[in-house]
Amino acid sequence: MPVGRDLFRSGETSKSIFNLLSGWVAIYTLLEDGRRQIVHFALPGAVIGMPTSNGAKNSYGAQALTEVVVSVIPSTVLTTVLKNDPEVSMRLASTLARDISVAYDHMTSIGRRTARERVACLLLELFTRHRAQWPGNHIGEMEIPLTQEQIGDATGLTFVHVNRVLSTLRKDKIVHFHYRRLRILDPDRLIEVAGIDAQTAMSWFE
């Protein structure tokens, strides 16, 4: 699936779930005037969406941030699998619970953290979650397929504000974000600025 394509949109009914095999996906909601709030970033291994019932419609959408590969599982197949294999049911529930926890963290960040803390927290979270997929990898640099506008959509900040925060983090030699490439210069200071406790950080590794 190409960059920018929606797996599904807000207001649509859904008869399938999507298992993200590769690529990045933004889970977002829209206001009536078109403003967007990104509530979660799905990375490879994520389960995206759930079948709706009784004519209910999705309250959120999912958009590919990179080229993505997904496995589409129809609700009829999912029902049969969950009925016959309790272990799959538990793994699915665990995955969804983890994603909800991350979404709650984002909501708390927007509501209570400063702009600097929000951006630092998001960068730290994405870096940690991405690195967790590659055990033993200690490289402090990664490709992060986000624009400053998308970071703003995820943190509730304007492009100008995000740009200002990223500039100060670079001047303070904490992180460097340029052309969608993130380099962690001082991990300890980044954790300090983000104000992340150990329990929250460990949840990103699960």
Q: Tens digits of per-residue pLDDT, 11-63?
A: 888 888 899 999 999 999 998 888 899 999 999 988 888 777 776 788 899 99
d(CA 128, CA 143): 13
**pTM of this structure:** 0.85
Residue 136 has pLDDT above 60, yes or no: no
Q: Which residues contact 72 (CB under 8 A, 6 or more apart)?
A: 16, 17, 18
d(CA 47, CA 70): 9
Q: Which residues contact 3 (CB under 8 A, 6 or more apart)?
A: 64, 65, 66, 67
Q: Which CATH number fits domain 6-104: 2.60.120.10, 2.60.40.790, 3.90.550.10, 3.20.20.80?
A: 2.60.120.10
> Residue 84 has which token pair?
């016959």
Architecture of domain 113-203: Orthogonal Bundle (1.10)
d(CA 127, CA 147): 15
Q: Where in the chain is the domain with CATH 1.10.10.10?
A: 113-203
Q: Where in the chain is the domain with CATH 2.60.120.10?
A: 6-104
Burial of 164 (0-12, 13-18, 19+ CB in 10 A): middle
> What percent of the chain has pLDDT above 90?
44
